[in-house]
Amino acid sequence: MPTSSSASTPAATANRPEFLISYLKSEQQGEVKLKTLREVKNQIIGNRTKKISYIKLGAVPKIVEILASAHDSDLSILVQSAATIGSFACGVDAGVKAVLDSGAFPHLIRLLSHSDDKVVDAGARSLKMIFQSKLAPKYDFHKDENMTFLLSLLNSENENVTELGASIITHSCETSGEQKALCEAGTLRRLVMLLEGSLNQREASLDSLAAIIKNNPEVISKFVGLDSGRALKSVTELMKDRYPRTRLLASVCLIVIGRTSPCYLQDIGLRTKLIMLLIELLEEPGRVGDEVPFALAGLIADNEDLQKLAFEVNALDKLCNFLHRDMILAKQLEGLLLAIAELCSRLEICRERFLSLQALKLVTSTLTHDCAEVRTAACICMQSVTRSVKNLSAGHFLTDTMVTPLVQLLHGPPISLQVAALKTISNVVVNFTNRKSIFIQCGGLKELVQLSKSMDSTLRLNSVWALRNLMFLTENSNKERILLELTASTLTSLICDPEPFVQEQALALVRNLVDGGINSIEHVFIEGGVVVNAVGRQVRSASKSEVCIQGMYVFSNISTGSELHKEAVMHQLLPEADGGAQSVIMKFLQCSDNQLRVATIWCVVNLTYPGSPGSSARVTRLRDYGIISQVKSMVNDPCLDAKVVIVHVLKSIHHSSCIISVLRTIIQHVVLQFRVKTVLEQCTVFSDAAA
Amino acid sequence: MSLFRIFISQLAEIENMSTSKKVITREEWEKKLNEVKIRKEDMNKLVMNFLVTEGYVEAAERFKMESGTEHIDLATITDRMAVKKAVQCGNVEDAIEKVNDLNPEILDTNPQLFFHLQQQRLIELIRNGKVEEALEFAQEELAPRGEENQSFLEELERTVALLAFEDVNNCPVGELLDISQRLKTASEVNAAILTSQSHEKDPKLPSLLKMLIWAQNQLDEKAAYPRINDLSTAVLEDPAV
C-alpha cells in the first residue's frame, strides 16, 4: 500500500468556499481578486455540488459586482468573472436564478461590444448558458430595437456571438406572431447561411430553425421556398452529416416540417430514411442518444402510416432491446418508453409484438423507477399496450405484479403521474374475466375512491372513469363492494360535480352499476333513492348532451327492471302535473344529437316493453305527452334513412382513418331507425289490445 | 477521394467481366494510375489537416509558409497541446485549468470527460502516495459525480480499489496506473477541445489509408494487380501470378 501523507495541507483549507468567498470583496487588490475568481471558476466548472454550495454562500452577487465595477481595460477580470458567472448558469437552475437576480444580464451584454475578442467570447458564452435555461427571461422580438440587436448578433463575425443569437431564438420563439416577426426580419435566410458555417454554428442554427417553423405552416412554406428549395435541401443533406448531433437536429427540423405540413414529408424514401436514422442514432452516447427517442416519438405520434413504417423497419424490436440494457439513464429511458407508447398506441400488431418480446415485464419494472418522469412514461407506455382488446379481455394485464405498482403510483405526486396511472388502470380493469377482485384486493379500489374526492378535477375525472370501467360487467358482489367503498352520497355528489366531464363519467358509472338485472338496479334506490334522484335532476337540467346521453342510458337500464323501477323512471322523466310542461323525453327526441336520440328511444322501448303489466298505462301517458306521435314522425324523418346517411357521410370521407367513425355513424342511424320501429310496434300491440 | 472512386468503378468493371481472376500488369496499372488527377492543393490540405489535428504546431507553421495552405488559429493548437501534455505528465489540475481558460463550456457540458479528468487526478494522488489527500478528494469531488451516474460510480470504485493493494503493479486494477491510462485521458481531452473548436477530432489521412486497404482487399478477390503492401513506402509490388 502506498505510504500515507500528512493531513490536509493549509492550501486545502485555503481553497474552501467559505474562505475563498471572503476574497471576493471588491476592495481586494486586483491580483488577489483575479486569482480567487480563477480558483472559484475552476472549482465549479463541471461540479454541480460546488456550484450549489457557492450559490448558497452568496458568491454570485459578489462576482456580478466585480464584473459590474471592472474597468474596460481589466481584460482578465472581465473574462474570468464572465466565465464564472456563465458556469454558475450552466446546468443548475438555482445558479441561473442567482445570476439573473443579481442583475448580471446587462453587464454581460455590455461585454459583447468590447474590442477584445476574448472578452466578447466570454460574454457571449455566458449569455448562451443563460439562454439555454428555461428560467431565462423571454426575449421580446416585437420590439424593433431588440430585433435589430438580434440581427446584429446573427450577423456577427464572432462564432460565439452568432451562436448566442441562435440560442436566443431557440429559447424565446414560441408564438406564431414571434415566428412571423423573425421570418419577416430575414432571420431564416441568415440561419440557413449559418448551416454552412462551423459545426457549432450549424447545430445552433438547426435548433433555432426548428423553433421558428414549428407548427407554423406559413413560415414553413416560406422556409421551403427559400432559394428555390435549397434551404430544405441543405437540411435534408445534413441528415447524412458525419456528426451525430447534426444528423439528429436536421431530422428534428424535418419532423417539425412534416408534422405541420405533411406534403413536404410525403416521399416514402425520405420517411424511411428518417426512421432508420433515428433508430441508428439511438446507439449514440450522451445527449444525442437521450434525445433521439423523443424525436422518434414526435415523428410517429398520431400517424398510423409512420407507425406502420417504423414497425416494418423493426423499430419496436430495437427500442425494446434497449430496455434490456443495464445502466440506462433516466432521460433516455423516459424517451424510449414514450416512443414505444406511440408505436403501440394504434396498431394491434405492435402490441402483439411488444408482448411477444417479453417487454411488458421490463416496462412494469420501470413503474418503480426513482425518477417521476420515467414512471409517468412507463404508465403512458402501458396505457398504449393495454389497449389490446384481445389481451385485455383475456385478463392478461390484470395481474398482481402489474397492478400493485400501478396502485402505488396513485399516491402521487405529481398529478401528471397520478393521471397517467389512472388512465392505465382504466384500461386494465376493463376485462370480462372475474379477476377484478385482484385489483380490489390490492387496495386499488380504496385509492380510486380517495382520488374521486380530490380537489383536482382531472384526478376526479380519471378516477371516476377507472371506477366506471371497474364496474363494467362485473359480478354483483363486486358492485356491492365498490358501492360500499364509494358510498351513495359520494356517488351523488360526483353526479352533481361542477365539471360536466366528471358528471358524464359518474353517470356512466351508474349506468354500468344498474346494468345486469333487478339486483343491480336496486343499488340506485338505496338510502331513499338519492342516486336515482340525482340522475333525474342532471338529465332534466344538464345542458351538455354527453351528460344527458349517459343519464338516459341509466334510465334505459333501470327500465329493464321491475314494474316499480319502470314507474320510478316515468316519475323522473315526465313532469308530475301536466301543466303543459314539456317532457325531457320529448326534448331529447327532437334534438339534433343522434346518440342522445338513440339513448332516449332505448329508454322508451324498455318502458313500453309489452311483457310488463303496467306498460299499457305507460304508453297512454307517453301518448298524452305527444311522445308516441313524435316517435312516429321520426320514421319518416329523411335524415334517418340509412341510405341517405351513407351517401351523406361518404361525401365527407377524405381519409382512411375516418372509416371507423363513418361506420359508427351509420350503425347509430340504423340502430336508431330500428329502435323507432320497435317502439311503434310495441305501441301498436297496446292500441290493438285497447281496441 | 477520386482515387477511391476509381478503385470502386474498376471493381465494378472487373466484377462484370468474369468470375475468374483477372491479371493486371504493372504497365496497365501504372497507366491507369496516371490517368487519375489529384490536385496539389488537396494534398496540401490533407497534410495540413494532419499536422493541425495531431498538434504539430511548428511543422504546421513551416508548412503554411512553404505551401500557403490556410489553417485554424495556430495559437489554439499550442493551447490544446499544452493541455494534452499536462495530462500526459500527470499534471491534471493544471490541465483542467488550461481547458477552462480555453473554453469553460467544455468541462461544464461534458460530464464524462470531467469525470475522467478527476479520476486521473485521483490516480495521480494515489501514484504519489498521498493516501489521505486521495481519499478526501475521492469523497469530496468524485463521490457526488458517482451519485449522478451509475457508471461513474463503478469506475470510481475500481479506482479507489488501488488503495487496497500492497503491490499496485500486480493488482487487478493496476492498469489504471499505467501510462496508457494517461494517454487515454489525454486523447479524450484533445478530442473534446477539437470538437469545441468545430474541428474534426481525427485527421483525415488515416481514414484515407484505411479506405485504400479496404479497397485493395475487395479487389484481391477479383483480380491480381500491383499491390501496396507497405504503406510507409507505398511501393507497388508485382502481382503474384
Output the CA–CA distances (angstroms, integers) from residue B153 to A477, A480, B130, B157, B176, in the order listed: 53, 53, 21, 6, 16
Tell whether A11 is within 8 A of chain B (Cβ).
no
Domain identity same for B191 and B228: no
pLDDT band at A593 (very low <50, low <70, confident <90, very high): confident
Q: What value of ipTM does the predicted structure carry? A: 0.76
Domain-located, residue B155: yes
Share of chain A above pLDDT 70, in %: 88
For the stretch B188-231, pLDDT in tens is: 999 999 888 877 778 889 889 999 999 999 998 888 888 888 88
A391 vs A1, residue with greater confidence? A391
| Domain encompassing residue B222 | 2-36+212-237
> Judging by beta carbons within 10 Å of its beta carbon (0-12, 13-18, 19+), is residue B40 exposed, middle or buried?
exposed
Which residue of A38, A40, A41, A45 is the best one to mutate when testing the B interface, meaning the one whose CB has the most B CBs within 10 A? A45
For B96, name the nearest residue in chain A, comparing CA atoms only.
A42
- Please check whether residue A168 is in contact with residue A132, taking contact to mean a CB–CB distance below 8 angstroms: no
Q: How far is CA A183 from the centre of its chain?
A: 29
Contact B130 A5 (CB under 8 A): yes
Contact A125 B104 (CB under 8 A): yes
Domain-located, residue A401: no
Residues of B with Cβ-Cβ distance to A12 under 8 angstroms: 133, 136
Q: Which of A110, A137, A164 is the last residue of a domain?
A: A137
For the stretch A94-113, pLDDT in tens is: 999 999 999 999 999 999 99
Between CA A402 and CA A381 the distance in angstroms is 13
Contact A38 B97 (CB under 8 A): yes
Q: How confident is the model at residue B11, as a pLDDT? A: 62
User: Torsion-angle region of residue A7: left (phi > 0), alpha (psi -120 to 50) or beta?
Assistant: beta
Tell whether A455 is within 8 A of chain B (Cβ).
no
Q: How confident is the model at residue A684, as a pLDDT? A: 55
Residues of B with Cβ-Cβ distance to A47 under 8 angstroms: 114, 141, 144
pLDDT at B17 over 70: no
Domain-located, residue B191: yes
Q: How confident is the model at residue A78, as a pLDDT? A: 94
Residues of A with Cβ-Cβ distance to B150 under 8 angstroms: 327
**Mean local confidence (pLDDT), B34-59:** 87
CB-nearest to A3 from B100, B103, B129 is B129
Between CA A340 and CA A383 the distance in angstroms is 11
Instruction: Tell me the pairing of strands B236-237 and B227-228.
Output: antiparallel
Tell whether A484 is within 8 A of chain B (Cβ).
no
> Judging by beta carbons within 10 Å of its beta carbon (0-12, 13-18, 19+), is residue A112 exposed, middle or buried?
buried
CATH code (residue A101): 1.25.10.10
Domain-located, residue B127: yes
| Domain encompassing residue A129 | 8-137
Instruction: Give the gap in angstroms from C-alpha B86 to the nearest C-alpha of chain A.
Output: 16
pLDDT band at A442 (very low <50, low <70, confident <90, very high): confident
Between CA B120 and CA B159 the distance in angstroms is 9
Residues of B with Cβ-Cβ distance to A8 under 8 angstroms: 132-133, 136
Cα–Cα nearest to A517, from A471, A568, A470, A476: A476
Q: What integer best gives the mean pLDDT of chain B?
A: 85
Residues of A with Cβ-Cβ distance to B151 under 8 angstroms: 327
Q: How confident is the model at residue A330, as a pLDDT? A: 87
Tell whether A691 is within 8 A of chain B (Cβ).
no
**Mean local confidence (pLDDT), B106-110:** 92
Domain-located, residue B204: no
- Please check whether residue A348 is in contact with residue A390, taking contact to mean a CB–CB distance below 8 angstroms: yes
Q: How confident is the model at residue A175, as a pLDDT? A: 92
Instruction: Give the gap in angstroms from C-alpha A287 to the nearest C-alpha of chain B.
Output: 10
pLDDT at A636 over 70: no
User: Torsion-angle region of residue A226: left (phi > 0), alpha (psi -120 to 50) or beta?
Assistant: beta
Domain identity same for B155 and B91: yes
Residue A163 C-alpha cell reads as 451562436
Domain-located, residue A627: yes
Q: Which of A111, A137, A163 is the last residue of a domain?
A: A137
Domain identity same for B150 and B84: yes
CB-nearest to A91 from B108, B112, B149 is B108
CB-nearest to B104 from A9, A45, A201 is A45
Express the helix, strand and coil content of chain B in percent, nearest 5 each: 70, 5, 25
List residues in chain B touching A: CB distance below 8 A.
Answer: 96-97, 100, 103-105, 107-112, 114, 126-133, 136, 141, 144, 148-151, 163-166, 168, 195-196, 198, 200
Q: Which of A74, A102, A137 is the last residue of a domain?
A: A137
Domain count, chain B: 2
Chain pair A-B, CB pairs under 8 angstroms: 83
For A88, name the nearest residue in chain B, comparing CA atoms only.
B108
For the stretch A164-176, pLDDT in tens is: 999 999 999 999 9
For the stretch A267-294, pLDDT in tens is: 888 899 999 999 999 888 888 989 999 9
Domain-located, residue A24: yes
Instruction: Give the gap in angstroms from C-alpha B104 to the nearest C-alpha of chain A.
Output: 7
Domain identity same for B88 and B176: yes
Determine which helix (DSSP H) or strand (DSSP E) holds B236, and give its type and residue range.
strand B236-237
Instruction: Give the gap in angstroms from C-alpha B108 to the nearest C-alpha of chain A.
Output: 4
Contact A125 B107 (CB under 8 A): no
Q: How confident is the model at residue A620, as a pLDDT? A: 83
Domain-located, residue B45: no
Q: How confident is the model at residue A658, as a pLDDT? A: 46
pLDDT band at A651 (very low <50, low <70, confident <90, very high): very low
Domain-located, residue A546: no
Domain identity same for B101 and B187: yes
Which residue of B198, B199, B201, B207 is the best one to mutate when testing the A interface, meaning the one whose CB has the most A CBs within 10 A? B198
Instruction: Give the gap in angstroms from C-alpha B187 to the nearest C-alpha of chain A.
Output: 18
pLDDT at A92 over 60: yes
Residues of A with Cβ-Cβ distance to B141 under 8 angstroms: 47
Least confident residue range of A242-251, A315-324, A662-671:
A662-671
Share of chain A above pLDDT 90, in %: 47
Domain identity same for B191 and B122: yes
Domain count, chain A: 2
- Please check whether residue B222 is in contact with residue B22, taking contact to mean a CB–CB distance below 8 angstroms: yes
Q: How confident is the model at residue A110, as a pLDDT? A: 94
Domain identity same for B175 and B229: no
Domain identity same for B119 and B17: no
For the stretch A13-30, pLDDT in tens is: 567 887 788 777 656 677
| Helices and strands counted in chain B (H then E) | 13, 4
CB atoms under 10 Å from CB of B41, counted, come to: 11
Tell whether A52 is within 8 A of chain B (Cβ).
no
Q: How confident is the model at residue A688, as a pLDDT? A: 42
CB atoms under 10 Å from CB of A208, counted, come to: 26
Q: How confident is the model at residue A496, as a pLDDT? A: 92
Domain-located, residue B192: yes
For the stretch A472-481, pLDDT in tens is: 888 888 888 9
CB-nearest to B198 from A2, A38, A200 is A200
pLDDT at A5 over 50: no
Residues of B with Cβ-Cβ distance to A125 under 8 angstroms: 103-105
Contact B165 A1 (CB under 8 A): yes
Q: How confident is the model at residue B10, as a pLDDT? A: 64
Q: Which residues contact B85 (CB under 8 A, 6 or more apart)?
A: B186
Domain-located, residue A603: yes
For B202, name the nearest residue in chain A, comparing CA atoms only.
A242
Residue A561 C-alpha cell reads as 327492471
Q: How confident is the model at residue A628, as a pLDDT? A: 79
For A329, name the nearest residue in chain B, comparing CA atoms only.
B149
> Judging by beta carbons within 10 Å of its beta carbon (0-12, 13-18, 19+), is residue B5 exposed, middle or buried?
exposed
For A121, name the nearest residue in chain B, comparing CA atoms only.
B103
Q: How confident is the model at residue A657, as a pLDDT? A: 43
Domain identity same for B92 and B165: yes
Q: How confident is the model at residue A107, as a pLDDT? A: 95
Domain-located, residue B206: no
Domain identity same for B90 and B180: yes
Tell whether A214 is within 8 A of chain B (Cβ).
no
Contact B136 A8 (CB under 8 A): yes
Between CA A207 and CA A249 the distance in angstroms is 7
- Please check whether residue A169 is in contact with residue A219, taking contact to mean a CB–CB distance below 8 angstroms: no
Cα–Cα nearest to A79, from A44, A105, A114: A114
Domain identity same for B192 and B216: no
Domain-located, residue B60: no
